[in-house]
Amino acid sequence: MPHHTREALFQQPIQPFEIVPGDSASDLLRKMGNTAFQARNLGRAADIWELMLQDRTTIILSLSGALIPAGMRKLMVYLIEHRYIDCIVSTGAQIFHDLNEALGHPHYQSEHGLDDGALRQMRVVRFFDTVADDQHQDATERYIKAFAESLENRAYTTREFLYLLGVDAQQHVKDDGLLTAAAKAAVPVFCPALGDSILGTALAWARFQEKSQLQIDIVADVLETREVVVQTEAQDARTALLVLGGGVSRNYAQQTATLGYMVGDDQWFKTHLYAIQITTDQPHWGGLSGATFDESKSWGKFDLERSQTVHVYCDATIALPLLASAVAQRQQKTISQRRHPVFQMGQALSLTFS
């Protein structure tokens, strides 16, 4: 534990938050960063994201929860199109709901206290205070199934399959979602638990009817994520994480930095240099979704000497729009000049820096 002198502890006074009409999101987060608790953490998150963009990094977005149904689709598209992130690890459900919405099937605000049994009879599905048309979801599942049936019967990583799906979906969507924007920008999307979603049931349905025998090779997926770190560090760059929620996506993104040992016992990655997590999970329950990045250092996932990390304990639908808006306001020049990884998105994955 760090030891501080009495004098050192009294160097940075709290600056009471003052209302200034017309403050931008950037202004708000700078002032919040001079306060305490989660306001301070959110302010620090903006500072760390700025460092990621200014440094030579591959920024991996880890995505879980129902953020797309909650209205975050176009925010994700902005981050992809302007290269505030370079690679995505997502749950299957998030990708399915993104595609369903981009195909023209919106999610709707609803009242609290709805009768879920009655909703089922009406073919309406609920996400807390949000609803969607289950018949539209069926149509999107049928589209994914038909697309899978059009592919060659061989093994695919989730990254390759989702890239091809994103390319095909560009012909059908009303406006871009995460998946189509990622395909256009050559931003790889990994889905370590693809089977835990309607993406998985669509593929299973096609196989059950003996109309497709394509395979999802999750082991090859892990090797591709390793290559993201290998090729990033080979070009004198480092990896960074932006984690929204927790779950499988978080661990999958974190573990990429631990895989250097595969080529020999003396081979180690420098590991992740920066990380931000926005979550409502807590560390005292012992699960990885709430585990601190300090705990992750014991697993070799973060640079022991130089890493800069922060946890923001907040609903991502509150924190993320403020955070992303603030960083976008501050970093227009940086983004226009940023040297980011450029991925080759064929059957094999590779990257070079622009």
8 Å CB contact between 76 and 178? yes
Residues 6+ apart with CB under 8 A from 76: 63, 67, 68, 98, 177, 178, 181
Instruction: Tell me how far CA of residue 250 lies from CA of 254, 310, 334, in angstroms.
Output: 6, 14, 27
Distance of CA 283 to the CA centre of its chain: 20
Q: Which two tokens stand for residue 54?
A: 């200014």
Active site residue 174: no
C-alpha radius of gyration, the chain, whole number? 21
108-109 and 130-133 strand pairing:
antiparallel
Phi, psi dihedrals of residue 21, rounded to the nearest 5°: -55, 135
Distance of CA 182 to the CA centre of its chain: 12
8 Å CB contact between 65 and 278? no
Name the catalytic one among 31, 174, 270, 301.
Answer: 301
| Bridge partners, 343 (sequence order) | 351
Go through 278-302 and write b for each residue having 16 or more CB atoms within 10 A of its CB, e for each that does not.
bbebebeeeebbbbebeebbeebbb
State the Cα–Cα distance between residues 226 and 214, nearest whole angstrom.
23
- Angle, vertex CA 243, rays to CA 247 and CA 33, nearest 5: 135
**Cβ neighbours, 10 Å, residue 341:** 25
Residues annotated as catalytic (active site), given as ranges: 301
